[in-house]
Structure 1
């Protein structure tokens, strides 16, 4: 009987078919090409940023007035607004603003370091306003009270201060207005921020039995908290940053604070934009001791004390109407001590050097027991 032929074992090939290798090679080539293109773009961006920084430094160094050269809020706002309008994405507007703001901040701080005192701690909303105006390269100094911000600037320990002056929900910031009656400092700029509060925590919303925040933040979220967190006790602390720290460290604690605080303290955002007023805006004042020249889009702030008699306030306000000046804000503040009456804080459109504003100020000076121009400065656009 003939033996059956032994079948040959298939020989394994060490090489894959060309059709199988092609996608791998193509992907590798595409990846290498993409990496090279990224590197080329990175180098180009780096060169352009440094060229922009060098040009900015040259302009500052050529200006005999370093103060105006390193602090020009109108120019900064116009630049950032133009960049936003020309931005075609995909980067969002706030990211683009951040890049240019940091370039300006770094250059200015290199040419002439600036110390900025603000109501802290870090990652509070006042800190956000300070970063928005001065950038992170400035020497930002947190202090515990509004009075301390004023004192730092008054003693020359800081070039500028940043304090809240009014909120669209809670109104005036009394401590700020009080300090303007006590120290000879001026407003040299403003920032208007949309304030968005968030519920932060390390546990689920249902496990939170205490919610911490500063009084103003709790006030601005009171309706939302009563509807959505009825089981939680509301506890006031000195700042939203302190609240976030407590939410990180204390079991069962939550905080009302910013998204930046959530990132800094490693917290989850359990609910965002929990403020009752979705148009919640805080205006922050930049304080210093130097005047700002007219820009054509200005605001003037006044401190005014008039005689405590019938019609005195109406007579004072009539001057604004006669000179066709728009009032944008007026607040009364009771006089301290035995004297009865009020001090008024007034904002109007225009600069103190404008002819019609100057006429109004002259009229008010004749009527006033005390009048001080707290500052004329560029009006800011709403941010956020």
Structure 2
């Protein structure tokens, strides 16, 4: 005799019973997680007391990156790396706040890419200060009004960020102690249809990174530069016929529709941000060192300087030239470079001693752990 199919009510009852059982299990797991998180926080608080007694820095990017790497390496799924990193970032942030509420300046307003980079590095248990320019970020750190600043350093499409490079020349004693690599996905935000858009706001770099898309899809729109993508979103919210090139988070914050997603011309668009402070980061074993230097104005001087890296087997990961302001009429350049290694590594020490002989000016901007793309 063929088995009769189960009735819908019977299946529903079984499903409800299974749901109840699974939810009960989740509730128990949540309580276990909460207990363990609080135990972890208590241990972090004790570490904070020891740090206070020894006058050690509360923010330790090397240790925080080590914690994240440990849990990511141990994870067997099903949660992906992005989710695990986000969860533990906030656990670390909250634990750090038990030791001290650190202050961080960034180019605002909220949900600018600088703000997103700051949250990616520090989490939410931080006192954030929004400022109106990259110069202001440097100045707030320099005056010790904040502990750290977050500034854009370079973009994979546009290269070095000139305002940041100029401020390193003005305040060379400030140190890069960490970096954030953020995948940048631009979106067209508006509260009107595409056909009604007459003006598009964004920061110059974002407009440049979407130049081809905007030219093809909004050929008659007026492109307007503003200080940040978040300011652009604010203006698009307020002005009829206006749109913004900005993040998804900005769309949520300012109540805008995402008309088109991922409109950047280069699909692997990435911006690297520097975390600046007053102190060096300790050695992690997988580090970068950033420096700036100026060479004499004669043939072969730059080649001689760069040969130092080759001779010491140091891999250059970035090089950028920037006009240096001098009192002479001669146009001179400062060179910014990153290379793999820490300032405490013996071969890095040897290289810096050799490099100094070829430079009129040499400033180490800091050594810091190499970041992965977020």
Fold conserved between structures, TM > 0.5: yes
1:50 matched to 2:38? The reply is yes
Counterpart selection for 1:375 from 363, 366, 374: 366
Partner of 2:27: 39
Partner of 1:186: 175
Q: By how many angstroms is 1:32 displaced?
A: 4.9
Partner of 1:72: 60
Q: By how many angstroms is 1:195 displaced?
A: 0.7
Partner of 1:349: 340
Q: By how many angstroms is 1:167 displaced?
A: 0.5
- C-alpha separation in 2, matches of 1:273 and 1:319: 41
Correspondence 1:4-153 to 2 at 5 A: 32-63=20-51, 64-65=53-54, 67-68=56-57, 70-89=58-77, 91-153=79-141
Q: By how many angstroms is 1:150 displaced?
A: 0.7
Residues 200 and 269 in structure 1, CA contact (< 8 A), matched pair in contact too: yes
Instruction: Normalising by structure 2, report the TM-score.
Output: 0.90
- Specify whether residues 152 and 322 from structure 1 end up closer, same or farther in structure 2 by C-alpha distance, changes over 3 A only: same
1:282 matched to 2:282? The reply is no
Counterpart selection for 1:224 from 213, 219, 235: 213
> For residues 348-384 of structure 1, what are the alpha-carbon distances to aligned partners after superposition, in whole Å with 9 as ceiling and x for unaligned?
111112111111111122222111111111111121x
- Specify whether residues 25 and 357 from structure 1 end up closer, same or farther in structure 2 by C-alpha distance, changes over 3 A only: closer
Partner of 2:193: 204
| Higher alpha-carbon deviation: 50-59 or 257-266 | 50-59
Q: From the CA coordinates, give the structure whose radius of gyration is larger.
A: 1
Partner of 1:319: 308
> For residues 230-282 of structure 1, what are the alpha-carbon distances to aligned partners after superposition, in whole Å with 9 as ceiling and x for unaligned?
24222211111111112222222211101111111122221111111111111
Residues 197 and 273 in structure 1, CA contact (< 8 A), matched pair in contact too: yes
Correspondence 1:233-248 to 2 at 5 A: 233-248=222-237
| Corresponding residue SS for 1:116 | strand
Q: By how many angstroms is 1:45 displaced?
A: 2.1
- C-alpha separation in 1, matches of 2:9 and 2:131: 64
Residues 60 and 66 in structure 1, CA contact (< 8 A), matched pair in contact too: no
Partner of 1:334: 323
- Unmatched segments (≥5 aa) in structure 2: 1-6
Instruction: Normalising by structure 1, report the TM-score.
Output: 0.88
Partner of 1:303: 292
Q: By how many angstroms is 1:57 displaced?
A: 2.3
- C-alpha separation in 1, matches of 2:210 and 2:261: 11
- Specify whether residues 37 and 325 from structure 1 end up closer, same or farther in structure 2 by C-alpha distance, changes over 3 A only: closer
- Specify whether residues 66 and 37 from structure 1 end up closer, same or farther in structure 2 by C-alpha distance, changes over 3 A only: farther
> For residues 105-136 of structure 1, what are the alpha-carbon distances to aligned partners after superposition, in whole Å with 9 as ceiling and x for unaligned?
11211211211111111101111111111111
> For residues 289-346 of structure 1, what are the alpha-carbon distances to aligned partners after superposition, in whole Å with 9 as ceiling and x for unaligned?
1112222211111111121112211111121111111112121222214322221112
Q: By how many angstroms is 1:47 displaced?
A: 1.3
- Specify whether residues 152 and 232 from structure 1 end up closer, same or farther in structure 2 by C-alpha distance, changes over 3 A only: same
- C-alpha separation in 1, matches of 2:358 and 2:89: 44
- Specify whether residues 29 and 218 from structure 1 end up closer, same or farther in structure 2 by C-alpha distance, changes over 3 A only: same
Correspondence 1:148-159 to 2 at 5 A: 148-159=136-147
| Corresponding residue SS for 1:53 | helix
| Corresponding residue SS for 1:382 | coil
- Specify whether residues 203 and 316 from structure 1 end up closer, same or farther in structure 2 by C-alpha distance, changes over 3 A only: same
- C-alpha separation in 1, matches of 2:304 and 2:11: 84
Corresponding pairs, count: 364
- Specify whether residues 197 and 299 from structure 1 end up closer, same or farther in structure 2 by C-alpha distance, changes over 3 A only: same
> For residues 89-119 of structure 1, what are the alpha-carbon distances to aligned partners after superposition, in whole Å with 9 as ceiling and x for unaligned?
5544333222211111112112112111111
> For residues 3-50 of structure 1, what are the alpha-carbon distances to aligned partners after superposition, in whole Å with 9 as ceiling and x for unaligned?
xxxxxxxxxxxxxxxx99977876765565455334323222211221
| Higher alpha-carbon deviation: 334-343 or 181-190 | 334-343
| Corresponding residue SS for 1:107 | helix
